[in-house]
Structure 1
Amino acid sequence: MTASLPTAGTRRSRAVLLTVTCLGQFMVLLDNTIVGAALPDMQHRLHTQLTGLQWIVDAYVLLVAMLLLSGGIFADRFGRKRVYLAGVTVFTVASVLCSLAPSAGWLVAGRMLQGVGAAALSPASLALLASAHPVPQERVKAIGLWAGISGIGLAAGPVAGGVLTEAFGWPAIFLVNLPIGLILLLVGVRHLDESRNPNAPAIDIPGTVLSVLAVGALTYGLIEGGAVGWTSPVILGSFTAAAVLLAAFVVVEARSSAPMLPLRLFRQRLFTVSNAAMTVVGFALMGSSFFFSQFFVYVQGSSILRAGLQTLPVTLAMVLVSPYAGRLAARHGFRVVATSGLALAGLGLLTLGTVHADTAYGNVWWRLAAVGVGFALTLSPLTGAAIQSVTPQEGGLASGVSSTTRQIGAVLGVAVLGAIVRSRQAGGASFETGIDNAFFAAGAVTLVTAAVTGLWLTGSHPTAPSPTEAARALPKEDPAFGDAPVQGDRG
């Protein structure tokens, strides 16, 4: 039986839906890269040190990483429209609170609330879009538009952050979310249709709580260790607590009938290696990006606006190259493309470790572009490899786990590379030397991972799934780099 053609009203409603979901994801992605440009101004006006800046970034990423999988399940169980609008509301209110923060501590609290909103908004927006396009081919096209349009937020962030911060100060980067959020709420309440999956799995509350506490305790120890002392009781206690909580998480997930992270998936070598590599991608990309604007402002003496423009090659390269990574993987295999991307990104980070105060920008931008191109080549193939290692019915879950591991890597990257910079400064080295060492460390870890994927990411040439399987297992975008899962019903 042939499918009926969509009516004009249906086309209009789908156009509104696509606009609303794209704009919501655009806002979330914009907030990732826009903050980096404002970090120097935050440090100056809030009188905070490197540790405070790390928390401003990691508080957001930590909550997104730990709640992303649960956000998709919430949307399926309680209504995608309801969860989407709730996420928009929380994110918008949190953005206003961030703009009004009188201290770094208050800003960190606001960023945590933003993370909660993003973890609900992002997967719900994609679930709404998928459920409105039941035909696989139409769904793939709609998700492609959603990913491409909303992904512009990544590239716009550094420029918008530099312009707004230079003109009005760092609070303006959060206030820009207010009109967007209000538009989304007004249009969404009137025009979005509700949908849900009555067969969605139960929410793994113990697993979610333990994962947040475990990664939070580890992050606290890594960020505060340089300031408090690595052998101090509070730091040793945080690392011990992280180990105990992680062990408890493993036990709970192994016994749960509906775990947020099914441990059995890691019995597949392809799944384990691809997710381990994805963790390193988050670690190296987010950890190094944390220092890009700070390098240009504090080491090379650029203005905040100019620094925002100078960091643009990374995100621009990712936006331009990412759409082609999947095609290259389909032709040459996941292993070849992912390994090449990791090697290019690792070499780019190593060359950034040799940049100094007097290095001309003409000799810097191509290093940043190499990092962006390299990581753009890894994201889709590594997610695709993880999806191929499981059954088609578990494709969405595998994509979600891949997104989560990358976000965890991002949290640890900011914490660990920041600890390297602080340790070098504590030893008498300059801030420039500390940043160079951080870039070297990120590059070395990325190159080692390239070697690992080259050796162990075997059996990873893409197969040709049916259109239904392709739509079901399609990698999704997330708030940090572009991939978020849709849990349960996908239309």
Structure 2
Amino acid sequence: MSDFAANSTEATVEATITPPAARHGLLLLVVGLVGFVTTLDNTVVTVALPTLQTELGASLAELEWVVTGYVLTFAGFMLAGGRLADVYGRRKVLIAGIAVFTAASAAAGLATSSGVLVAARLVQGSGAALILPAMLAVVSVGNDDRQRSAGVAVWMASGAGALALGPVVGGYLTQHVHWSWVFLLNVPLGILSVVLAAVAVPESRDEAAAHVDVAGVATSVVVLSAGTFALTFGAELGWTSPVILVAAAVSVVAAVVFVVVERRGRDPMVDLALFRARAFTGGVVAQVLWGLGVNGVFFFTALFLQRTLGFSPTMSGLAFVPLALLVVVVTPLVPFVERRFGAARAVGLGLFLVAAGMAAVGFLRPGDGWIDLLPPMCVIGVGSALTMPLGPAVLGAAPESRAGVAGGVFSVAREMSGLFGIAVIGVIVNSSASFTLGYSTGLLTAAGLVVVGAVVSLVTLR
């Protein structure tokens, strides 16, 4: 833990007693459930879009908002969600977020028009934005390093499982049941999560926080929402289109205002002194570089598998399953690796493996098949699992009074880096003479970014 975290005496936290083993087990179950459903909703709906267009008469623009509306509010409200958790109580905000998410899921499933569905998706994303930073704070506060690592491991494994199962679950429900169950599936899981959270999650908050930094909350929402909009729609509308340029300018100006407000505020939402902790800043930077590389490339990988390697849509979806399964299987073993070799070496090795696997995929050419693709995808899966200590390193470097904000910063870094990576790699792909050449160039560029992340981890996480 950093000197900043160790010396912070500004606040006391109610949850200072480690919960019993049984209670901690239930807490991990809550983490797994909410991590699964919030990640699942990033991918599960994509397969149902053609059916939604037919049954609801949705336009292409409305279908796009069904997908991106969730991401927009999810990313836009995460920092605010983290500070609300610190001020009003992590358990309260976690339960409130699950309740909002679950109610919005029910509304989405019962929607009879595309407008109602888009509105429900926007509310779903705001609920998820409350859930994720509060959940990471709950994992951090009052727990020792081993329990914190276990919590982050469960979160990562559940997220990887959701990413792999999302298209499969969405396709099955849409084809054999009804598209509404893509959203209604969240309702029983959400109700169960609320009950378990009420029983297993100890309450904690920043006792020194007298009020919410309204200016900080407002400017952070503008920064992230405008930035997310620009990154999401830039490729479609054109990076030099007036709408995208205005959105980008609004995000940049709001970011400058946010820094000024936070530096001068008496009780800022994000205490900028957090970034003086080397492990905190290094972990966030490494997370950003990982997200820039991996998420940016995987967005185009399905197209590469179908256009270049000749895979069917089903085979393209199945290509990601071994990767996700290895993340699920290897992640629980990572704490043992971390204790043996340290977080810096574990994360550094993981990022080097991810980069190596990505580079190997970049050299695949027409005529290569499943047997050629499987080894590098497995290497990427193992490497991604080894990056698990990034979360505990960032959370452990912050004082418990700021656990919600620390979780929010880490979550925002993860989400925004993926969007930025898609934009950057997209420019490389679209500016090349052929898709295959552009994809390979983008993949090698992304691998280079991940290698830089590995070096940052080795230097800062010691």
Shorter-chain TM-score category? 0.7 to 0.9
Structure 1 letter corresponding to 2:254: L
Q: 1:328 to 1:110 in 2, by over 3 A?
A: same
Structure 1 residues not aligned, in runs of 5+: 462-491
Counterpart mapping for 1:66-145 below 5 A: 66-99=76-109, 109-125=119-135, 136=144, 143=151
Q: 1:96 to 1:296 in 2, by over 3 A?
A: farther
Cα deviation digits, residues 215-236 of structure 1 (max 9, x gap): 3323333343333333333332
Partner of 1:454: 455
What is the CA–CA distance in structure 1 between the aligned matches of 2:130 and 2:319, rounded to whole Å?
32
- Alignment of 1:316 with 2:325, yes or no, is yes
Q: 1:247 to 1:16 in 2, by over 3 A?
A: closer
Confirm or deny: 8 A CA contact 2:219 2:257 kept in the other structure.
yes
Q: Residue 278 of structure 1: CA displacement?
A: 0.9
Q: Residue 250 of structure 1: CA displacement?
A: 1.3
Residue aligned with 2:459, SS: coil
What is the CA–CA distance in structure 2 between the aligned matches of 1:331 and 1:18, rounded to whole Å?
24
What is the CA–CA distance in structure 1 between the aligned matches of 2:368 and 2:215, rounded to whole Å?
51
Structure 1 letter corresponding to 2:409: V
What is the CA–CA distance in structure 1 between the aligned matches of 2:404 and 2:200, rounded to whole Å?
23
Residue aligned with 1:364, SS: helix
Structure 2 letter corresponding to 1:409: S
Which of 408, 418, 439 aligns to 1:410? It is: 418
Q: 1:23 to 1:334 in 2, by over 3 A?
A: closer
Q: Residue 256 of structure 1: CA displacement?
A: 2.0
Partner of 1:195: 203
Q: Residue 247 of structure 1: CA displacement?
A: 1.0
Partner of 2:260: 251
Structure 1 letter corresponding to 2:236: A
What is the CA–CA distance in structure 2 between the aligned matches of 1:19 and 1:268, rounded to whole Å?
31
Residue aligned with 1:252, SS: helix
What is the CA–CA distance in structure 2 between the aligned matches of 1:223 and 1:18, rounded to whole Å?
33
What is the CA–CA distance in structure 2 between the aligned matches of 1:282 and 1:248, rounded to whole Å?
26
Q: 1:147 to 1:273 in 2, by over 3 A?
A: closer
What is the CA–CA distance in structure 2 between the aligned matches of 1:35 and 1:182, rounded to whole Å?
21
Partner of 1:343: 352
Which segment is superposed worse, 235-244 or 449-458? 449-458
Which of 222, 230, 233 aligns to 2:239? It is: 230
Structure 2 letter corresponding to 1:120: L
Q: 1:453 to 1:84 in 2, by over 3 A?
A: closer
Residue aligned with 1:231, SS: coil
Counterpart mapping for 1:8-23 below 5 A: 19-20=29-30, 22-23=32-33
Confirm or deny: 8 A CA contact 1:335 1:454 kept in the other structure.
no
Counterpart mapping for 1:63-462 below 5 A: 63-99=73-109, 109-125=119-135, 136=144, 143=151, 147=155, 150=158, 152-168=161-177, 171-185=180-194, 187=195, 195-197=203-205, 199=207, 201=209, 202-293=211-302, 295=304, 306-355=315-364, 358-380=367-389, 382-386=390-394, 398-418=406-426, 420-421=428-429, 423-424=430-431, 429=434, 432-433=435-436, 437-438=438-439, 440-451=441-452, 453-454=454-455, 457-458=458-459, 460-461=461-462
Structure 2 letter corresponding to 1:114: Q
What is the CA–CA distance in structure 2 between the aligned matches of 1:190 and 1:236, rounded to whole Å?
45
Q: Residue 166 of structure 1: CA displacement?
A: 4.6
Q: 1:323 to 1:363 in 2, by over 3 A?
A: same
Structure 2 letter corresponding to 1:447: G
Report the count of equivalent residues. Answer: 442
Q: 1:339 to 1:104 in 2, by over 3 A?
A: farther
Residue aligned with 2:331, SS: helix
Partner of 1:48: 60
Q: 1:215 to 1:73 in 2, by over 3 A?
A: closer
Q: Residue 279 of structure 1: CA displacement?
A: 0.8
Confirm or deny: 8 A CA contact 2:43 2:167 kept in the other structure.
yes
Cα deviation digits, residues 338-375 of structure 1 (max 9, x gap): 33322222232233334466532222232322222222
Q: 1:367 to 1:110 in 2, by over 3 A?
A: farther
Residue aligned with 1:368, SS: helix
TM-score (norm 1): 0.72
Structure 2 letter corresponding to 1:402: F
Q: Residue 70 of structure 1: CA displacement?
A: 3.5
Q: 1:169 to 1:428 in 2, by over 3 A?
A: farther
Q: 1:192 to 1:156 in 2, by over 3 A?
A: same
Cα deviation digits, residues 389-442 of structure 1 (max 9, x gap): 666876775454333312221232344444555x35xx885xx54xx6356425
Partner of 2:8: none
Cα deviation digits, residues 154-189 of structure 1 (max 9, x gap): 55435423433453575542232123234445x459
Structure 2 residues not aligned, in runs of 5+: 1-16
What is the CA–CA distance in structure 2 between the aligned matches of 1:390 and 1:79, rounded to whole Å?
17
Q: 1:205 to 1:141 in 2, by over 3 A?
A: same
Residue aligned with 2:60, SS: coil
Cα deviation digits, residues 9-55 of structure 1 (max 9, x gap): x9887776665554333322333453566678779996638x965x6
What is the CA–CA distance in structure 1 between the aligned matches of 2:353 and 2:299, rounded to whole Å?
20
What is the CA–CA distance in structure 1 between the aligned matches of 2:245 and 2:149, rounded to whole Å?
50
Q: Residue 118 of structure 1: CA displacement?
A: 1.4
Residue aligned with 1:258, SS: coil
Identity of aligned residues (%): 34
Which segment is superposed worse, 194-203 or 312-321? 194-203
Confirm or deny: 8 A CA contact 1:350 1:440 kept in the other structure.
no
Partner of 2:3: none
